[in-house]
Structures are given as C-alpha cells and as structure tokens.
Amino acid sequence: MPIQCSSCAKKRAVLRRPKTGYSLCKSCFFWAFEEEIHQTIVSAQLFNRGETVGIGASGGKDSTVLAHVLKVLNERYDYGLKLLLLSVDEGITGYRDDSLETVKRNQQQYDLPLTIVSYEELYGWTMDAIVKQVGLKNNCTFCGVFRRQALDRGAMMLNVDKICTGHNADDVAETVLMNVLRGDIARLHRCTAISTTSDGEGAIPRCKPLKYAYEKEIVLYAYFKKLDYFSTECVYSPNAYRGHARTFLKDLEAVRPSAIMDIIHSGENLSVKEGVKMPVQGTCSRCGYISSQALCKSCVLLEGLNRGLPKLGIGKHHRLHDKILTQQALTQQEEKKLKAMDF
C-alpha cells in the first residue's frame, strides 16, 4: 500500500517530513528542500550579488549538502556569487585525512575551487601532536578554538566576503541546549543568530543557510541524490556532556519532531535582562583576532602548548595574561598548576 505524494498526487511518497508531516515523492522533496533554503537565504538577506562565499567543507553530510544546494540555487536564481570550498586539516591521522579525500572528490563533482588550511602551517601543531601533549580530556577545546580561527584565516587569504557553515536545525537546537546547560548567557544570546556581522578585525561574517533544515532531511537528501560524503567518529574521544545533550534531543525529537524548531524559537526569543554582565568584545593584542580578553583563546592555548603548560587555556587564568604578554616568568606554583594534565 504505497502512499501517494501529498504535493503532486502522482508519484509514490518516499518520506514524511518532520517539519510539516507531509509525505512527498523524491522530486517534490528535492524541490521543497531547496526552495526552503532559498527562502531562508532571501528573507535573511544572507548574500549580496558579486560576493565571494567560502563554504566550510568538512566532507561530512551537512557541508556536502550545503555545497551542493548552494551551487544549485546560485545557478537557478542567479545569485551572482563566487562559491569556493574551504577546508581545515586538523592533522588527525585516520580521520581528517580520509574526510579530506571526500572534499577533494567534491571539488571535482561540484566544480568548485578548494583550499585547505592546516593546523600545522597555522599553529605549528597538528591535533595528533597536541593530543600527545594534552591527553584526551581537553583536546576538543583546542580543536574547536583552532578550527574557528583557521576558517577565518583561510577565508582572509582568499579574500572571501562571507563564510557559510553546514550547521543544521538539530545542531542549533543542541547548541541552545548546551548553552543553557553551561549557563553561558553570552553564547545563548548569540547562538541562534543566522548570521554574524564582522564584529572585529580578523573575523569574517558567517552564516548558516541550513539553520532551519532538519538533520533527517539533510541525510535523506544526500541519500536520494547519492551525494558523496564521509561519516565516522573522530578518533579522539568526543565531548561526553554534549553527547548526552544530543541523545536527549534525539529522544525528544522521536516523540515530537517539532521539538527541534521549538527549542530554536525559544532561543531566538530569549532576551537577557538588564544588569547581566556580558563580555565586551575587543581584539587580541597579539594576533588581532576578536577577543573579550587581552589575549584570544587561541593565542593562550598556543602559548600553553609552546611553553609545555597545556592547562593555560583551560579554565580561567585571565590573571596570567598580562604576565604572558609582557613575557614575565611565572612563579613555580603557577607553573605547577598549569603543567599537570589528566590523561
């Protein structure tokens, strides 16, 4: 008893949409999925004609679908954008080297130029080397902070006007939840924004065209279009706290698919009451990147690695930033506190 498509009423439906509950055939689904992203782009005015847009490409499902759909829409609606792929090589043997192979195939398949920037050339450290020094407890902190800045630096080298990333609706809902669970009011306030303006030197405006696209639809779009993407777990242990949030969200979504959109709407409509202290954004006095402290997170982490004090950027050591900047020696006690690492 095949179910007919509720849109064209001609072909067999292939999926039930989590957002609307409609059952659609393959071609009606492709069209609806692409049109919704087009609507998101138009109504939020994400791009301007003539811009160069860097797509943060990891080889995973989200960025692969993003690259494909942006290419389709740029042609269908004549956005007049110059699209290119931008990838970060974290230097993780057996994980990133494999996914970069996927990105290289995508470059051929979509006929888009590709640039790869590596942690090694930017920071002098691969993730493999970092994990050797810091162990498996805080490695995700290093990787996340470095990746964010690496994308910006790569984009600057290429004179990119905007970076777009593959964050989907499930990711955004998860981030809202994480920021609630961490009590991070500043991030909770920002994280649902579909785009960021260039609020400081060294940061390129970013946007998330897939912000309202459900993970289920992204995966099925990739499956039915037979897009080439890479999926595996990072070889280094993932953040357990985030893992719980993700599982919780998927459990909610299984009962009520609108939970994802509802959490995003909650995040979008939160306002921070007066009197809540928010960090003031300035620039890093060493590298010029946006930072609410004298030194940006990435410079502090790097300083810690280079001095053999890996804990420097983990937790709150703002007090020490002035000392580092003026190259004063740390006391023995301070050194001891920053050295010990739990493996």
Partner 1 sequence: MAAPIAIHLEFGGGAELLFDGVKEHHVTLPSQSEPWDVKQLLVWIRENLLKERPELFVQGDSVRPGILVLINDADWELMGELEYQLQDQDNIVFISTLHGG
- 10 Å Cβ neighbour count for 334? 16
Residue 252 or 325: which CB sits closer to Zn ion? 325
Query: Where does the chain have alpha helices with state H?
Result: 26-43, 61-76, 96-110, 119-123, 127-134, 139-157, 169-182, 185-190, 215-224, 240-255, 259-269, 297-307, 321-325, 332-339
Residue 4 DSSP one-character state: B
Binds 216, which of Zn ion, partner 1, none (CB < 5 to 8 A, cut-off by type)? partner 1
| DSSP letter string, 24-64 | E-HHHHHHHHHHHHHHHHHHTT---TT-EEEEE--SSHHHH
Does 61 help bind partner 1 (rule: CB under 8 A)?
yes
Encoded amino acid at 175, one letter = T
Please tell me whether residue 238 adopts helix, strand or coil conformation.
coil
Q: Nearest distance from residue 296's CB to Zn ion, in Å?
A: 3
**What does the alpha-carbon distance between residue 297 and residue 142 come to, in Å, rounded to a whole number?**
9
Residues 25-54 that bind partner 1 (CB under 8 A): none
Sequence-separated (6 or more) residues with CB below 8 Å from residue 98: 230, 232
* Structural contact between residues 227 and 64, judged by C-beta atoms closer than 8 angstroms: yes
Q: Nearest distance from residue 63's CB to partner 1, in Å?
A: 7
Encoded amino acid at 285, one letter = S
Question: Which of 219, 227, 270, 341 touches partner 1 by CB under 8 A?
Answer: 219
Q: Nearest distance from residue 8's CB to Zn ion, in Å?
A: 3
Question: Which of 211, 246, 286, 297 touches partner 1 by CB under 8 A?
Answer: 246
Q: How many residues belong to the site for Zn ion (CB under 5 A)?
A: 12
Q: Which window, 139-147, 171-179, 253-261, 288-296, contacts Zn ion (CB under 5 A)?
A: 288-296
Binding mask 74-113 for partner 1 (x = CB under 8 A): -------------------------x--------------
- 10 Å Cβ neighbour count for 105? 15
Binds 68, which of Zn ion, partner 1, none (CB < 5 to 8 A, cut-off by type)? none
Question: Which of 140, 287, 294, 330 touches Zn ion by CB under 5 A?
Answer: 287
Does 284 help bind Zn ion (rule: CB under 5 A)?
yes
Residues that bind Zn ion (CB under 5 A): 5, 7-8, 11, 25, 28, 284, 286-287, 289, 296, 299
Residues that bind partner 1 (CB under 8 A): 2-3, 12-16, 23, 58, 60-63, 99, 166-168, 170-171, 215-216, 218-220, 223, 231-234, 246-247, 250-251, 253-254
